[in-house]
Amino acid sequence: MPRILVSEELAESGLAKMRAAGHEVVVRVGLSPEELRREIKGAHALVVRSATNVDDALLAAGTDLLVVGRAGVGLDNVDIEAATRRGVMVANAPESNIVSAAEHTMAMLLAVARNVPQAHAALVQGRWERSKWEGVELFDKVLGVAGLGRIGKLVAQRAAGFGMRILAYDPFVSEERARAMNIELVDLDTLIEQSDFLTVHLPKTKETIGLIDAAAMKRAKNSLRIINVARGGIVDEADLADAVKNGVIAGAALDVFSKEPMTDSPLFGIDGIVVTPHLGASTTEAQDRAGDHIADQINLALAGDFVPYAVNISAADANETMKPYLPLAERLGALFASAAGADTTELEVIASGEIGAYDTSLLTLSAMKGFFGGRVDEQVTYVNAPQVAARLGIEVKETKVGGGSGDYVNLVTLRAGTHSIAATLVGQRRQARIVLVDDHITDVPPSEHMLVVRNDDRPGVIGVVGTLLGNRDVNIADMDVGRALTPGTALMVIAPTAEVSEAVLDELRAAPGIIEVIALRG
């Protein structure tokens, strides 16, 4: 039973999902780093929020760890590079809190525009200060959105409802996509210079830390108000405090800080600055959603399935054309591992047809996952498959062939040495079919146990094979006979209902007309 360690509070619905999948779920909240390193031994998955520091030392202690799940969006507290190096998948729940974060951004936007917290504090202290806390309208103001991802897009949609004009900076968004949302794309300098309000929705990286600093604020209108509900440190807090205090810009609203928890900052006590203690995801709905979403990712990872929100797998965002071929490639890899031979030094994964026009790296990883899963005792994942290949000294080559693929719209082919196998999906139900084995044309569904029998292309051999298997009580569920693309030999692909013993295989190899017998196990 896989063991899941949960180191921070998680919604009960998420815990229940993981238990329902048959996993042992151990909740240990408030452990010190040393205690956590002891507790993680034997755990296959670790679920955290923002407080647990998942560093290389913790990952090293988790020798059985397959996946780290962050119940939320940000991954500042997870060493993704170290996890990838150790073959540990890292997944998050990027859509769990986007509505809550967007709504909190709007709350901060309105609060800083109308001085709501300052006026509230004055009134409860007995001061009626209407004129002191005069604000500004949002209507017809320019909102600059730095980062037009999931949350930035929702904020832009909501701000448009207030009659704001939207500019955005995002180097990864096309002008056509922005235009469809009635948003004008500009560079960062233009965004800062033209905005009345600037809201930050960028990831925290080496490039974005301190991105909005004193120099940037000097280029802005003195009426600018900055909102940051993304990640602390993107806006330089010391520079921001000086800029608001000295009238360089009008104000700011921050929900996140360079260090958290933050209880003492030069930002605190400045009239034009509104602060909250990282409340962007602090809604009942977001907390429940985060627990549910990360539970789904953990269950998928432990089952060896495709994990859509894995952040350290290249091309993890597989398109709809590619997705149905991922399990096919994995199954093909598992079957082909038996045929390739122990001395294999190279594995080629070929994607032909429509799928060949896309990024096929995830398809290659799927084939590697199946292929190496049958060769090593450890569980092979999308993350550690390349490392397993390197350890075994097997070079994996990825080949893409776009356009037509002969008789098939799409074809996945694996080659190693003199052996090859190819499969596709057919019909409305997209049923899997093995259509080529060692360049012999065939048509048979993949099965858990299969026999590949290469024989002389002459009468009577099929009868010999059938009679021998029948006499040894081997029941055949499926069978197809294929001729070679060049005449001379034929090939039988047989799917028995159970594994065939080595004694029967040896007897089959000794039968007249039989050239080679390979047992495939997938």
Active site residues: 231, 260, 278
Q: How far apart are CA 380 and CA 319, in angstroms?
A: 23
Exposure string for 433-464, b = 16+ CB within 10 A, e = fewer: bbbbbbebbbebebbbbbbbbbbeeeeebeeb
Contact 435, 424 (CB under 8 A): yes
315, 307 in Cβ contact below 8 A? no
DSSP string, 152-219: HHHHHHHHHTTT-EEEEE-TTS-HHHHHHTT-EE--HHHHHHH-SEEEE-----TTTTT-B-HHHHHT
Structure tokens at 297: 């990712």
Q: Which residues pair with 482 in a beta bridge?
A: 491
Beta-bridge partner residues of 479: 494
* CA neighbor of 304 nearest in space, from 66, 75, 77: 66
Query: Contact 518/341 with Cβ under 8 angstroms?
Result: no
Helical segments of 262-359, H only: 284-302, 325-340
Residue 275 and residue 253 in contact, taking contact as beta carbons nearer than 8 Å: yes
* Residues 123 and 100: beta-carbon distance below 8 Å: no
Residues 307, 459: Cα–Cα separation, whole Å: 49
Place of tokens 């034009």: 272
Name 185's bridge partners: 168
Q: What is the spatial distance between Cα 489 and Cα 34, in angstroms, rounded to a whole number?
A: 64
Q: How many residues does the chain have?
A: 522
CA distances from 401 to 113, 397, 434 (A): 56, 13, 19
Cβ-contact 24, 3 below 8 angstroms: yes
Strand partners, 491: 454, 482
Which backbone phi and psi does 28 adopt, to 5 degrees? -135, 95
Let me know: does 371 contact 337? Beta carbons within 8 Å.
Answer: yes
Cβ within 8 Å of residue 161, ≥6 positions away: none
Q: Which residues of 257-293 are buried (b: 16+ CB within 10 A; e: fewer)?
A: bbeeebeebebeebebbbbbebebbebeebbbbbbbb
